[in-house]
Structure 1
Amino acid sequence: MRLKLKLAQKISLLVIVLIIFSIGISVSISGQWYIQRMEDNLEQNTLNVVKITALSPIIIEGIASGKDDGSIQTFIEKTQQSLEQIDVMVVADKNGIRYGHTKSDRVGEMFSAEDNDRAVLYGETYVSVGPGTLGDSMRAFTPILDADGTILGFVMAGTLLDSIVVAKQVIYFMTLLFILAGSGVGILGALFLSHFVKKSLLNYEPEDIARLYLENQGILAAVHEGVIAIDQNAKITLINDTARQYLMLKENCIGQPIQEVFPLSKLPEVLESGEPALNVQYALNERIVVSNNVPIINDKHIQVGGVSSFRDQTEMTKLAEEMTGVKKIVDSLRATTHEFKNKLHVILGFIEMDQKAAAKEYIGNINNELQETISVILNNIHEPTIAALLIGKSQRCHELKIQWTLDENSFFSNSLDINVNSLVIMLGNFIDNAMDELDTCSQSNKLIEVLINDEADRLILQVKDNGRGIKDSSPLFEKGFTSKEGSRGYGLYLVKEQVDAYQGKLMVDSAPGKGSCFRIEIEGARK
């Protein structure tokens, strides 16, 4: 299974690895350079020692005379005491007989190594590594020459390899200490940095931030409200497409001062006061919008900006009317008023033509017709709001040349105490849909029959029409579904909501060419 690290862990691990790697490389290179420099200095110092020693008159005269009076040994002992890095010194003639040695008991013996020949035979000065009586060592050789340049012998000075190894170990140990100390500081710094970064991101992981960003973009694109956000300097940090449409903006205004883009905005005042400004109305390009403006507060209770949302008040009003059923009643009353004006115009025309008999006959017919329709509704529907709704719809049907019928079994007194607005939504949407259907079809005999009855502790609400019928009624009650141009598709969806609230039954009986029947049955009021 793949190990999933958090942001703080990733930052800490990355910083620690980088610090350990960089410190390790730099210190290692420095250590190697120092060791090489130490070896070079040691080699040079050893060469200098043998060269200077070989020029000493005591050494030259002692070797040239061939007599060992101890002066050379004394000189070697004093010289070596003053040199810390030299572990062994030897003075011998060209035959290898020692005249001086670090160990005085070895004076007079033969030089045991075999790497002195280049100094004795060829007069070279050089450095070699080899075994000796005191152990392996790095040593320098140089010839002893008399005034004529004749090779009399050689001088050897060296440092035991054990001493060099100890020096290297000290350097390696110090290198390790530097790496550990630097790593420790790096770990503390990495932990502090990761904590700071995580806190600045409100403890969100990168994938959480990416998800929230995508969700934010989706929400801004989906909502119908305009949204604008600003920072503490009153500059725009976010604006969605709806807000651009309201403000008629074509270019990207991110980063611009809100006063330049939207001078009427209350957001600058919200920034100054720290208090929200709610339900503020703006007039934007012949459109009235309602806005809510609130400050943005971070986790430290510091105001870091503000956000404003606004939407078209006209659309809100329409939606509220549709949800409460007010629009249905207003439309019904408007239809009644319109029909009454038409009849008044006809009567006025008869009077202007001095046809009083025709006017009386027309008034009588209207009276009979109204009495027949209105009296049937008023005698059977005892709820005033529903009666007014049905009268208005009947008048509208008369205008559209649609025959209106209230079923003879209709009787309604709202004995189940059902909310009147719910009844208006259910009944009004059914009748409106039936009228819209019949108004757009070409048949001559158009009929709407309404049944509403709440006897026997059960409400039955039914609207039938003889229109073209519906092939598939399954999507009718889905939110947003509509077959009418300019409609939002909320009508039947709101009907279903009301029926579900009362735990009722909603039925549709329709087929192409046979009309449609919408029926609701509610057993008692349970809302």
Structure 2
Amino acid sequence: MKQPQIKPGRLKLKSRMILILGVMALVQTGFIGLFALHYLERSLDEQIGQRALDVAKTIAAMPQIVDAVKRRDIEYLQPVSLSLAITTRARFVVIGDKSGIRLAHPKPEKLGHSMADDDGDTGYQALIQGQGYIAKAVGSLGWSMRGKAPVVMSDGTIVGLVSVGYGLDRVSEIINRYRVTLLLVILCSFILSAVIAVWFANHFKKAIFGLEPEQIARLFDEQRATLESVREGIIAINSNSEITTVNQTAIETLGLPKESNLIGRKVDEVLPDSSMLEVLQNGEPQYDREVWRGDFCIIANRLPLKQGDKITGAVSSFRRKDELDMVSQKLTRIQQYADTLRSQSHEYSNKLHTIAGLIEIGATDEALNLIGQESASHQELIHLLMRAVPDPILAGCLLGKYNRARELGLKLIIDPESEMKQLPDYLPREQLVTILGNLIDNALEATLRQQGSEGEIQLSMTDLGNDLIFEIEDQGEGLSEQQQLQIFEKGYSSKNSEGHGYGLHLVQSLLHKLNGSISIESTLAGGSRFTVYIPKNKN
């Protein structure tokens, strides 16, 4: 089958997967990297700020510094601040009095000026509230993290403050180094994503037979249209016995609501007696199986779905047998009518020849007697059927079998006490005729083989009680216990000729559908008696 074409200029699956996975890798690594850099920058700032505050508190607590700040001894504080900056590796150590005027600064020209000249911070929190704090600001010495602590005398009087700053150049260097690392990680992630995308795309395309997504979508639409156009019902299940495919014909054939959503449901929930589970387990296909669904029969074919040697599911196609049955039933009726007419024609032809011969030889009394006997016999049968079997289809079947028996030289004796007036409406007459017709035909053949043209077949019927009961007794050679067990198997026959072994199997199948039963017993004369029970109520 020619594969559906995709539009020119559209990227293929492999290219799209590489692009998508690559963009995802870029976005993910970029987002994570930016977050990591931001978190690292804040963490470094906090660490440097805390260090600056700790150094500021240490310097502010030194007795010499406290005494010098109280005396505003710039000559002592200036060189000490420079020395302390070198010792603590700080960018600067600035000392101010209680008014925020610089007493020590790396730039001598800044001495005597307010500390707010650089960043506007007067040190209010340290000078007034007596609390150390951290601040990030740009001053005359550039960006720095500053820790400021009050200089407090032993009696708690605040006489000044110490500001220690660490430059952020180191932080920038670390952040830049990590940025380079991040770019390398992003590049490696993109390359890795591209490699994975190529491998996954190749593996995925192999699993979907090299098709592109658009081709799969087109095939899916075509498959759906094909399924809906088929007049047979189709159901497919996966390895978990869940329904994956079902067309509208299947829903209508099974008598389910038209809006039923069967996808994803267990097949045994929808069809409790389905054999699809059996196919799923053993992998053996089933062809032309008859399945009764309510009041109608469907013909089902079931096949396993395999991927290699593994069974991945099963598919069933089925159709109602109604149309075939209707044709078959019409043909059966026509055949029965033809047999009846042929039998009657043959029989009456012989009778007419006999009557004509009697008239020619002048034996008119014998001719009239023969005509009377023939008329009385038929009239007696017709009166019996009209009284006991008002249903015309069943009566016609029995009349035809009566004539067939006479043609074979046999007698079909219907018990005059028989009565079959309460045939339920639900009982299909064609199925009842099929059941009785096959049993009577078998009885005629068995009797003819054993007794020749002198045999008799007994038929009795009753509709008393909850069941319809039919008894057919032949004068055949009888059936052994083993034959009684096998006689209803499809294809089994006591006759050697081909084309036999299906009638009794059909009888049992129809009785099973009607919730009826059949029994076999041997008669004292050596023949067999078949008794059929069909319940009057459907349930």
- Shorter-chain TM-score category? 0.3 to 0.5
- TM-score, with normalisation over the residues of structure 1? 0.45
- TM-score, with normalisation over the residues of structure 2? 0.44
